[in-house]
Amino acid sequence: MLVGSACTPVADGSASGPPERTLTVFAAASLTDVFRTWGAQFAEQHPGTTVEFAFAGSSALAEQLAQGAPADVFASADQATMDRVVADVGVADEPVVFARNTLQIAVPPENPAGIGSLDDLAADGTTVALCAEHVPCGAASRAVLDAAGVAVDPVTWEEDVRAALTRVRLGEVDAALVYRSDVVAAGGDVHGIDIPEAAAAVNDYPIAVLADAAEPELAQAWTAFVTSPDNAKVLDDAGFLLP
């Protein structure tokens, strides 16, 4: 949770300043680092504002929204999940794609298993973490593996891409398929291996204000901030592709 400016006391003991408001943003796990940074900046630009985030697999967030979880904005890691939210929950305006992402193989820095391609993920004794296929990174992984004609039997199915990445960071698996942006976010904790088959699954990241947003004006301001051309370099530096 990121907190904006507090009210300023005046002589009679009361408080003056902008009203305190909370913006609730549901966002794909792969957006965690970029959105936290932007949340702090947004709160500074909108005194009295608190930005609260819920980060998880896009499909899990969509299910929470369908069950009535309150939120103002939804940002998904693929168009299909956004389409579900549009149908089940409703949005105030047409979703806008603000970023794209592709997969890499993430391995420990020393790459002890000597992995260099998707074929290596299917080798005997190689331990691999994949995202569950009902979440966007899992669907993308399936498309990439199918394009390569490679069958991988993972030792674990994770509910979001950050969980798969964590398995590599902790040395619990030899490799995982994750987004490029997650490899960048991990810094030197992992090494990313480009795969030509990644072109088979390029995920769009749409964002939309939800139809029942409690803070519609603030939500519109957030989506305008996220989609601003001024933030394109931030996305690029974080490993995302621009739409």
Closest CA to 214 of 70, 46, 80: 70
pTM: 0.88
Kindly state the average pLDDT of the residues 150-165. 96
Residue 8 pLDDT exceeds 60? no
Q: Which residues pair with 97 in a beta bridge?
A: 206
Q: Please report which confidence band the pLDDT of residue 16 belongs to, taking 50, 70 and 90 as the band edges.
A: low
Quick one: tokens of 224? 């305008």
Backbone conformation region of residue 111, classed left if phi is above 0, alpha if psi is from -120 to 50, else beta: left
| Structural domains of the chain in order of their starting residue, each with its CATH number | 2-100+204-237 (3.40.190.10), 103-200 (3.40.190.10)
What is the per-residue pLDDT across 217-242, written as a single tens digit (0 to 9) for each? Answer: 999 999 999 999 999 999 999 999 99
Ligand-binding site membership of 5 (annotated): no
CA distance 243 to 237: 15
- Residue 19's pLDDT is 80
What is the per-residue pLDDT across 27-63, written as a single tens digit (0 to 9) for each? Answer: 999 999 999 999 999 999 999 999 999 999 999 999 9
> In this prediction, what percent of the chain has a pLDDT beyond 70?
93
Ligand-binding site membership of 205 (annotated): no
Instruction: Return the DSSP state at 240.
Output: P
Ligand-binding site membership of 58 (annotated): yes
Kindly state the average pLDDT of the residues 76-93. 97
Quick one: tokens of 12? 């009679």
